[in-house]
Amino acid sequence: MPAEVHHVTHPLVQHKLTLMRQKDRSTNSFRRLLGEISMLMAYEVTRDMPTQLIEIETPLEKTMAPVIDGKKTVFVSIMRAGAGFLDGMLNVIPGARIGHVGLYRDPKTLVAVEYYFKMPDHMHERDAIVLDPMLATGNSAVAAVDRLKETNPKSIRFVCLLAAPEGLANFHANHPDVPVYTAAIDRQLNEHGYIVPGLGDAGDRIFGTK
């Protein structure tokens, strides 16, 4: 299956992302912008979601109209920065369930080490949308999706804010069946595994820990 990358080039997303990249932007503003972008990314990632017709009654007559089954969606947040995407996504799909994958990057090897994994029941009926703002080396994303696949969800999509070419290549080599949605593909990784030009450490900027 060919690897799919959906580059979300909507001007609103691009504008807000530029503001987020600025180093002097406050935690409050960074978090608010991420929430706004999350809502816009939610539209893109759900664009081809299946709908079913239900009968409703308008003030004028009965009609059949489409709905999506939000309860079948599971947002899988890669801790901790993935949490920054959740509120915005839930504004758009409030019925979604939430799973968590806890991974940290070993600072020397940059390999992802799992410390937490919790998904809702009946994963085989659910469409999983994996959330992590930064697809850097791709190691965390690959490890998270490896584990997620063990639960056998109906479909998997991956949403990030920024991707490095190296991370995209690594992710696609391991999971060519999982489409990636990103607001930008930056130039490269630096020697510490940070995306450049990037926006710094997403977790620190979301939670104000630096």
**Which two tokens mark 113?**
């080490």
Binding status of residue 203 toward ligand URA by CB under 6 A: yes
Task: Show which residues are catalytic.
Answer: 105, 109, 201, 204
Closer residue to ligand URA (CB): 74 or 81: 81
Binding status of residue 136 toward ligand URA by CB under 6 A: yes
Q: Interface mask (CB under 6 A) for ligand URA, residues 68-107, using x and -?
A: -------------x--------------------------
As measured in angstroms, the least distance from the Cβ of 201 to ligand URA is: 4
Binding status of residue 143 toward ligand URA by CB under 6 A: no
Closer residue to ligand URA (CB): 153 or 198: 198
Instruction: Classify residue 138 by its DSSP letter.
Output: S
Distance CA 23, CA 6 (A): 27
Instruction: Classify residue 144 by its DSSP letter.
Output: H
Piece in contact with ligand URA (CB under 6 A), picked from 11-19, 56-64, 95-103, 192-200: 192-200
Distance CA 98, CA 20 (A): 25
Distance CA 40, CA 28 (A): 19
Piece in contact with ligand URA (CB under 6 A), picked from 15-23, 52-60, 72-80, 199-207: 199-207
Closer residue to ligand URA (CB): 127 or 132: 132
Binding status of residue 166 toward ligand URA by CB under 6 A: no
**Which two tokens mark 105?**
């990057």
Strand, helix or coil at 30? Answer: helix
Distance CA 80, CA 78 (A): 6
Let me know: does 6 contact 40? Beta carbons within 8 Å: no
Binding status of residue 198 toward ligand URA by CB under 6 A: yes
Distance CA 163, CA 189 (A): 10
> What residue type is assigned to position 102 of the chain?
G
Size of the site for ligand URA (CB under 6 A): 10
H or E stretch at 202: helix 202-207
Number of neighbouring beta carbons within 10 Å of residue 199: 24
Q: Interface mask (CB under 6 A) for ligand URA, residues 23-62, using x and -?
A: ----------------------------------------
Please report, as ranges, the residues that interact with ligand URA according to CB under 6 A: 81, 134, 136, 193-195, 198, 201-203
